[in-house]
């Protein structure tokens, strides 16, 4: 067991699968008590039971990040159950269709912005309020390499992830002198439900993408979670408002 997040209480949104579920394990192994938020109650229940079986502190809260009330409840649950909120990994997000911009349906745009941008804003509002009333804290938002450069046929997703970086910078700036750090990770292609769905619907896409990654492979969800864990830890105490790519060298090429 590591010490990186010892005694910290950390909320993870989108914890029911992929990067969020990996983060639950990584943060717990580093000593954190984790509160897992997502819409799929059954998946969260299984994860919490597995973590508890291993002796880790974990609890689940059903939460749709597009609903401010749900997010407030998740934050309140962290406080009630573990006494405070030290950190949050705002990871919930959706990918949507891969379609040329001019053919993209309005519902897809709305769903992506509702979750990835409004959801993120809801999380920041609720978490920062509680952290300011407590002893401060650290937040990591999950953007994407698509928050820094374009991903073809994913315009609304790219725009939403650029917006996540905008929210990260604005929040970091506003609360830097009040004990709250806010950073983002920008993962490259990571093996998860989002990407499995994209690849199933777009044959050849995975190989094309891998060919453009200097390390020649996609990320394991755990590799993104490790970066988030470090940014959430006190070892990153002088880092705020930054975006850390976790991309196998993709943006460097
Ligand atoms: P998954 O689909 O496995 O995970 C997405 C998570 O978000 C699920 O736990 C889902 O849970 C949750 N979620 C979706 N909508 C909502 C909502 N309205 N309220 C609460 N939770 C929600 O994919 P990933 O692990 O890949 O995605 C995690 C994050 O990583 C996303 O923000 C994604 O954009 C980002 N990312 C992923 C990359 C990749 O290549 N996989 C690359 C760059 C960034 P539930 O359905 O139970 O609510």
Reported as a single tens digit per residue, the pLDDT across 122-136 is 999 999 999 999 999
Which range of residues forms the domain containing residue 219? 9-242
Q: How many domains does the chain have?
A: 1
User: Nearest Cα to 84, choosing from 94, 95, 76, 92?
Assistant: 76
CATH of the domain at 136: 3.40.50.720
Is residue 49 included in any domain, yes or no? yes
Q: For residue 18, how far is its CA from the centre of ligand 1 (angstroms)?
A: 7
Q: Does ligand 1 have an atom closer than 6 angstroms to the CB of 66?
A: yes
Residue 31 lies in a domain: yes
Mutate which of 70, 92, 196 for ligand 1? The one with the most ligand atoms within 8 Å of its CB, which is 92
pLDDT tens-digit map of 61-95: 999 999 999 999 999 999 999 999 999 999 999 99
Considering the domain boundaries, does residue 2 fall inside one?
no
Contact (Cβ atoms closer than 8 angstroms) between residue 138 and residue 181: yes
In angstroms, the Cα distances linking 177 to 76, 106, 135 are 24, 40, 12
In a domain, 227, yes or no: yes
- State how far the Cα of 79 lies from the Cα of 65, in Å rounded to an integer: 18
Range of lowest pLDDT (106-120, 183-197, 239-253)? 183-197
Residue 251 lies in a domain: no
Contact 92, 19 (CB under 8 A): no
**Structural contact between residues 186 and 145, judged by C-beta atoms closer than 8 angstroms:** yes
Task: Over range 159-179, report the average pLDDT.
Answer: 98
Q: Is 1 domain-assigned? A: no
Structure tokens at 197: 């769905």
- For residue 4, tell me if it sits in a domain: no
The answer to whether residue 136 sits within a structural domain is yes
């Amino acid at each position: 067991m590591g010490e990186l997040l010892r005694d910290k209480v950390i909320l993870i949104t989108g914890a029911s699968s992929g990067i969020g579920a990996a983060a639950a394990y990584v943060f717990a192994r580093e000593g954190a008590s984790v509160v897992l938020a997502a819409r799929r109650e059954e998946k969260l229940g299984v994860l919490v039971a597995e973590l508890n079986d291993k002796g880790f502190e974990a609890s689940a809260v059903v939460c749709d990040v597009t609903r401010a009330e749900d997010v407030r409840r998740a934050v309140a649950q962290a406080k009630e159950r573990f006494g405070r909120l030290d950190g949050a990994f705002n990871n919930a997000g959706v990918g949507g269709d891969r379609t040329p911009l001019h053919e993209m349906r309005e519902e897809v745009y709305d769903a992506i912005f509702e979750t990835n941008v409004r959801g993120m804003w809801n999380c920041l509002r609720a978490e920062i309020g509680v952290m300011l009333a407590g002893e401060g804290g650290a937040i990591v938002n999950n953007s994407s390499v698509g928050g820094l450069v374009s991903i073809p046929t994913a315009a609304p997703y790219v725009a939403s992830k650029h917006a996540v970086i905008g929210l990260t910078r604005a929040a970091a700036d506003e609360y830097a002198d009040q004990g709250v750090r806010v950073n983002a990770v920008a993962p490259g292609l990571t093996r998860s439900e989002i990407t499995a769905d994209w690849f199933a619907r777009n044959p050849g896409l995975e190989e094309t993408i891998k060919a453009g990654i200097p390390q020649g492979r996609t990320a394991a969800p755990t590799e993104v979670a490790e970066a988030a864990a470090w940014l959430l830890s006190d070892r990153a105490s002088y880092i705020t408002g930054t975006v850390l790519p976790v991309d196998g060298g993709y943006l460097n090429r």
